[in-house]
Amino acid sequence: MTTYPLLEALAAPQQVRHFSLSQLEQLADEVRGFLIDSVSETGGHFSSNLGTVELTVALFHHFDFLVDRIVWDVGHQSYPHKILTGRKDRFPTLRMHGGLSGFLKRDESPYDHFGAGHASTSISAALGMAMARDLQKQDFTSIAVIGDGSMTAGMAFEGLNQAGYLETRKFMVILNDNDMSINPNVGSLQGYLNQIISGQYYKRWRDRIEGAIKSIPVQSVSLRLAKAAKWSEESFKRIAVPGLLFEDLGFSYIGPIKGHDMEALLKGLAEAKERMADGPVLLHVQTQKGFGYTPAEKDPLKWHGVTAFDAEAGEMLKADTTKPAMPSFTQVFGKTLLDLARQDEKIVGITAAMLDGTGLNLLHDAIPERCFDVGIAEQHAVTFAAGLAVQGMRPVCAIYSTFLQRGFDQVLHDVCLQDLPVTFALDRAGIVGADGPTHHGIYDLAYLRCMPNMIIMAPKDENELKRMLLTAIYSNHPAALRYPRGNALGVPLDIPITPLPIGKAELLSEGSDLLITAIGSMVAPATALAKQLNASGISCAVINARFAKPLDEDLHSHWARRTRGFVTLEEGCEPGGFGSAVAEALGRQGISKPWLCCAIPDHLVHHGEPRLLMDEQELSQEALLRKISAFLATLSHSPN
C-alpha cells in the first residue's frame, strides 16, 4: 500500500510554511501520488490538477490561507488545495452524494474563500476581497490563481483593468499558463503568452544594461543619458516582451516561471511578495497539464475529466459492454449538424472551449472554416453569432445550459431584441450529476422563456432532436433546444427528418381523469406513468409539449377541460419553468383546475449520481407515482 509520510503527518497546512526545499519537493511528489491513486478510484477532474501541484505547495509555503485569501479559477484545478487543507481522508467520497465537492465551496472548508464552477471570476472576486480588506483596515494578501483557459474571457480583463487602476497593494494574480482549457486554448491571447515565453532573452538583456549603467560613476551620468537609457529600455521592452500588456494595465509583471520547478516558484513568489507592497503583481507561471503522469501528459484532453481508471496501466476501466451502447444526445446533435451543414453553406457552428463536449468536433474536423471555438467566452460567442446572423448566416451556438447563463444579456439584447435567427443548442440540460449546483442545467427554461421572440424546444428522443435542430435553424427567429447529458433512448435514426410545426405539441394518449403534460427528458417517464395509472383505472391523457414557447395552448386547454386536473413534468426549476407556462396559458383561457407541478423546487441541487438526485427531487419514476397518486386522492369526484 502506498504511503505518504509527509502528507500523513501534516496536521495543518501552516506546517508547510516551515518546510525546507527538499521537503516541499517531497510533499509535491506525495500530493501528486495521492491524487493519482485517489482519482483513479473515484474519477474526477484530473490532468488540470496534476498541473497545479507544485504551485499549490509553494503557495502554502509562502502564505497562511486562514488569514490570506485565494481564489482558484477554474475551480476544478483545486484538488491539491483540498488535499493540503484537511480533506485528504474525504477524497474517497469525491463528487459523490453527500461527499466532497469537485469545486471550492465556502461551507466545506474555511480555506475555500470563494466558490465557483464557471471560469474567469477569480480576479474580480479576489479584488473585491482586497478592497473590503482595505476599507475595513485589515491586513492580508489576496490572490487569484487563473488558468486552464480562464484568461480568455473578457471578465478576467475587466478585473485586471480595475485592479491596475486602483493600484491595489497586497494583491496578486497568478496566471497558470498551461496552453489548455479543456480543448487547446485558441485565439490571439494564447499566441501572446507564447511570445512572452519566447521573450526570455529580454530579461537577460535588461540585466546587462542595468549592470552597465550602474557601473558608471553617479556623478558622470547626465540627466540626458539617464533619459536615453530609460527610453531605450522601454522601446526595446515593447519590441521584445509582449508581457508589457500587463505592466501597461498597472501590474508589476514577473515571469514566466517554470511551474514545476519548486525552487523557481519559491523565488518568484518571494519576489512577488516584495513587489506587492507597491501595487498589484501578475506572476506568470508556465505549467503542463497532466504533469507527472505520462498518459495525461500525452493526452491532457482525454484525461481532463475521468472515470475510474487503472493507474498502473494508464487505462480507463471499461464499461459494461454486454449491451450495445446507445449514441449520446451530444453525438446525435453533432452528426446532424454536420449533415445539415454539408447541405447548406450558411450553417456555421460556434462553441466556447467545448468542441468535444458539445459534439462540434465533428463539424470542426470536416469543415473547419465554418466551426469556431472562441475560448471560454460565452458572451462573445453569442454576440459573434448575432453578427453572423445579421449577414445572412445561420449560426448554431452549442453551449452547455449552465454556461449560457453567462451570456444572458447578449442573448436578450443582441439576439432576441433584434429577432435574429441564432440557434442555441443547450447540452447538459437538467441534472448533470457529480459536478453539482454550478453545472446543473436546470434554469434555462426559466431564463429563456422571458425573452421576446425566443422559441424553446426540448426533444423526447434523439429522432425528435434531429427534427428540432432542423426546425430551429430555419425558424428565422432565435431558437433554443435543450437536451440532456448521456445516452439517448435508442429510437431509429434512419428516418428522413422533417421540420416540426412551431408551437405544436404531440398528443400521445387520450384520457378523461388526468392530463399529464411533459417536455423533453420527462416525456418517457410521463408515458410510463400513464400506463401504470391506466392499469389502476385512472384514464390519462398525455401530451408531449415539444415547445415550452410558444406553447400549444389549444391542445392543452382542450384536454385540461376534459380532465379533473393536470400534472406538468419537467427536468428544470419550478419557478418560471414549463409548468408555469402551462398554468399561465390555461389561466388565460379561463380554465381553473387542480394542478401538480413536478419540477425542481426553488433550492440548490447538490452533487451526486443523477438517479439519486432525481429521486431526491421527487422526479424519479417511483417518486412521481407517489406524488401523482397523492394528488389524485385530493381531486374532487364531482363531474367536470
- 206-257: per-residue pLDDT in tens? 555 556 555 655 555 555 555 555 555 555 554 445 567 788 888 999 988 9
The vertex-463 CA angle with 460 and 468, nearest 5°, equals: 75
Looking at per-residue pLDDT, the higher value among 362 and 239 belongs to 362
pLDDT at 181: 44
- Lookup result for grid cell 482595505: 134
Q: Which of 32, 87, 406, 460 is catalytic?
A: 406
Percent of all residues in the chain with a pLDDT value above 70, rounded to a whole number: 88
369 tagged catalytic: no
Q: How far is CA 415 from CA 19, 236, 412, 444, 494, in A?
A: 55, 44, 6, 16, 33
Write the burial class of residue 347 (CB in 10 Å: 0-12 exposed, 13-18 middle, 19+ buried).
buried
134-148, 153-167, 471-485, range with the lowest pLDDT: 153-167
Distance of CA 13 to the CA centre of its chain: 29
Burial class (CB in 10 A: 0-12, 13-18, 19+), 211: exposed
Q: Where are the alpha helices (DSSP H) in 408-489?
A: 408-410, 444-449, 462-473
| Residue 430 β-bridge partners | 441
- pLDDT score of 161 more than 70: yes
* Dihedral angle over CA of 325, 328, 332, 334, nearest 10: -120
Residues 384, 154: Cα–Cα separation, whole Å: 14
Which residue type is seen at 621?
Q
Predicted pLDDT at 153:
77
- Which residue reads 480595475 in cell numbers? 162
Answer yes or no: are the C-beta atoms of 619 and 578 closer than 8 Å: no
- Report, as an integer, the average pLDDT of 597-615: 92
The pTM assigned to this predicted structure is 0.84
Say whether 507-634 and 329-482 share the same fold.
Answer: yes
Lowest mean pLDDT among 117-126, 319-328, 479-488: 319-328
In degrees to the nearest 10, what's the CA dihedral of 182, 184, 188, 192?
Answer: 100
Name the active-site residue from 30, 378, 462, 570.
378
Quick one: average pLDDT of 475-492? 93
* Rg, Å, the chain Cα set: 28
pLDDT for position 96: 85
Fold held by 7-199+241-298: Rossmann fold (3.40.50)
- Per domain, the residue ranges of the chain are 7-199+241-298, 200-240, 329-482, 507-634
Q: Percentage of the chain surpassing pLDDT 90?
A: 65
Give the bridge partners for 175, in sequence order: 146, 284
Sequence-distant (≥ 6) Cβ neighbours of residue 370 within 8 angstroms: 341, 345, 347, 348, 349, 363
At 471, the pLDDT band (50, 70, 90 cuts) reads very high
**Residue 201 above 50 pLDDT?**
no
* The pLDDT value given to residue 197: 47
The pLDDT tens digits of the residues spanning 392-432 come to 999 999 999 999 999 999 999 999 999 999 999 999 999 99
Render pLDDT for 249-293 as a digit per residue (tens, 0 to 9). 889 999 889 999 999 999 999 999 999 999 999 999 999 989 999
CA distance to 3, 245, 254, per residue, from 155 (Å): 42, 16, 22
Which class does domain 507-634 fall in?
A: alpha beta
**Closest alpha carbon to 605 in 592, 614, 594:** 614
Specify the range with the lowest mean pLDDT, choosing from 69-83, 363-377, 514-528, 575-589. Answer: 69-83
The fold for domain 329-482 equals Rossmann fold (3.40.50)
Q: Which of 289, 466, 546, 564 is catalytic?
A: 289
CB 341 within 8 A of CB 334: no
Mean of per-residue pLDDT scores for the chain: 88
Q: Which whole number is the average pLDDT over 453-468?
A: 97
Element (DSSP H or E) covering residue 42: helix 21-42
C-alpha cell at position 21: 526545499
Q: Give the phi and the psi of residue 636 in degrees, each rounded to 5.
A: -70, 145
Q: How many CA atoms lie within 13 A of 238 on its CB side?
A: 6
Contact 539, 514 (CB under 8 A): yes
Q: Which of 97-106, 173-182, 405-414 has the lowest mean pLDDT?
A: 173-182
| 627 is annotated as an active-site residue | no
Based on the residue annotation, tell me whether 289 is a catalytic residue of this protein.
yes
H or E element, residue 573: strand 566-573
**Residue with grid cell 477532474, as numbered in its chain:** 45
Q: In this model, does residue 365 exceed pLDDT 50?
A: yes
